[in-house]
Amino acid sequence: MLDALNHFPRQCRQASQIAAGLRNLPECKDVKRIVFVGVGGSAIGADLVRSYLYFKSSLPIQVIREYELPAYIDSQTLVFVCSYSGNTEETLSAYAQARDKGAVLIAISSGGQLRERAAQDKITFVEIPRGLPPRYAIGYLSIIPLSILATLGLTEEVLPNINQAIKVLEELQQTKINPRIGSADNVSKCIAQELYNKLPVVYSSSANFSVVVRRFRSQLNENSKVLASSAYFPEIGHNEITGWDNPKSLLKKAAIVIFRDNLVNPRISKRIELTKEIIAKETGQRILEVWSRGEDLLSRIFSLIYIGDFISYYLAILYGIDPASTDRITVLKERLKRG
222 annotated active-site? yes
The CB density around residue 43, as the number of other CB atoms within 10 Å, is 27
333 annotated active-site? yes
Are residues 121 and 115 in contact, defined by beta-carbon separation less than 8 angstroms? no
- The dihedral over CA atoms of 265, 188, 235, 54, expressed in degrees to the nearest 10, equals 60
- Active-site residue, selected from the candidate residues 90, 189, 222, 225: 222
Rounded Cα distance between 174 and 301, Å, is: 18
Give the type of residue at 38.
G
Q: What phi-psi label fits residue 38: left (phi over 0), alpha (psi between -120 and 50 degrees) or beta?
A: left
7 annotated active-site? no
Rounded Cα distance between 313 and 309, Å, is: 6
- Active-site residue, selected from the candidate residues 29, 122, 238, 248: 238
Rounded Cα distance between 26 and 210, Å, is: 30
Residues comprising the chain, all counted = 339
- The dihedral over CA atoms of 47, 304, 3, 13, expressed in degrees to the nearest 10, equals 70
| Residue positions annotated with a catalytic role | 222, 238, 333
